[in-house]
Amino acid sequence: MNHSIYSADRSTHLKIVVVALVAGIAVAAFGISAHTNSDDGYAQTARVMKAGKAVTITSSNTSVVR
């Protein structure tokens, strides 16, 4: 077994590529299976918020430090 990627032979490189490919497929399969559908009733809807009356603060009883 080669412990350096620089001195590894062709079969070692092939093993690394195969392991990376299998891991990528496993992550993609997990992501697809964990995906939820929008038909569950949890779909987000747009809500409109309207502004009310304007509020003005004119004074307060706290001391101002400058």
DSSP structural state of residue 56: -
pLDDT tens figures, 4-55: 777 888 888 899 999 999 999 999 999 888 876 555 556 667 778 787 777 6
What's the whole-model pTM score?
Answer: 0.48
Outline where 1-66 has alpha helix (H): 10-34
Q: How many Å is the maximal CA-CA distance in the chain? A: 79
